[in-house]
Amino acid sequence: MRDLGTGFGYLAKGQRWVAGHGRWLGFGLIPGLITLLLYAAALTGLALGADDLIAWATPFADDWSSPWIGLFRGFLTVLLFVLGLFLAVITFTAVTLLVGQPFYESLSEQVDKSESPDGSAPESGLPLMRELWISARDSLRILVRAVVWAVLLFFLGFIPVLGQTVVPAIGFCVTGFFLAQELTSVALQRRRVEVREQLALLRANRMMTWGFGVPLALSFLIPFVAVFLMPGAVAGATLMVRDLRGENELPPRQPNPQGVQGQAPGPYGQPHKPGQPPQAQHPQQPQHPQPPHPQHPQPLRNNPYAK
């Protein structure tokens, strides 16, 4: 049964996988560090300029008396920064995946090879620039959906009581779902699965998706944690994709009465080895009929010599 625990289990398995493959852990940290620097600069600029932005957006409150103007604009400033932080959490993975597309493609492919019985991994067969274009296009589509949800939850946050209890919980569920989609898209794009099919697959396994994405969204609120969890998150998402597509289930071995590679079985039921001529079976020795034992002729009744 695919439930919350199953999704969290794949998140933990991904972290254990990269921990056991230290080279891939360091390899996967590079895109996250680059994206973290970009987002840190953007959030710092938002924090420094939020007061001026709110004052510019609310000229009607200039004539309000103190302390109402300070409380009103202070509340909007905090709300604006929370909205920016919410968008940063949602889009961090998408931007990191876009920046580190070659890095995470190689990481996901290596996870597939380690889990495949024959050591192979699915390949899209597309050129690198085409893959980058598809990744950017799909990330933009997901970003638009995430912004719509962010704006909706922003206004729902003004509802008393519900805005401080239910709405944040819904926000983390939405964030976790989009995080899971962005991470699984690395493995699904190599399997030529379009973004609509990706969303439909995750919606059909919503509990498992939340179990994977919501803990990750909560951990992303802690500074620098997202950078170190990203390689393991990509590995865990690849493992989850293999489960969702049934690739971990091996088909039962069917008996082959024709021997190996469709060849006829050799003598005594043993198959011929490839590249070797079949061994001739020993012909059965013909059995010579034994001559019948001579029988004494029966005496004739009219034989004058019979005694």
Distance CA 268, CA 11 (A): 52
CA 295, 301, 305, 306 torsion: positive or negative?
positive
Q: What is the DSSP letter of 96?
A: H
> Mean pLDDT for each 10-residue chunk of the chain (307 residues)?
84 92 84 87 86 84 80 84 79 79 86 88 79 79 83 82 84 90 90 89 93 90 81 93 81 48 45 48 52 50 46
Domain ranges of the chain: 4-41+87-244
Single-letter code of the amino acid located at 256? N
Cβ contact 186:237 at 8 Å: yes
Question: Which pLDDT does position 153 carry in this prediction?
Answer: 84
Task: Please check whether residue 223 is in contact with residue 232, taking contact to mean a CB–CB distance below 8 angstroms.
Answer: no
Longest dimension (CA), the chain: 163
| End-to-end alpha carbon distance in the chain | 101
Q: What is the pLDDT of residue 200?
A: 93
Q: How many CB atoms lie within 10 A of CB 51?
A: 14
Residue 89, pLDDT score: 75
Side chain identity at residue 236, one-letter code? G
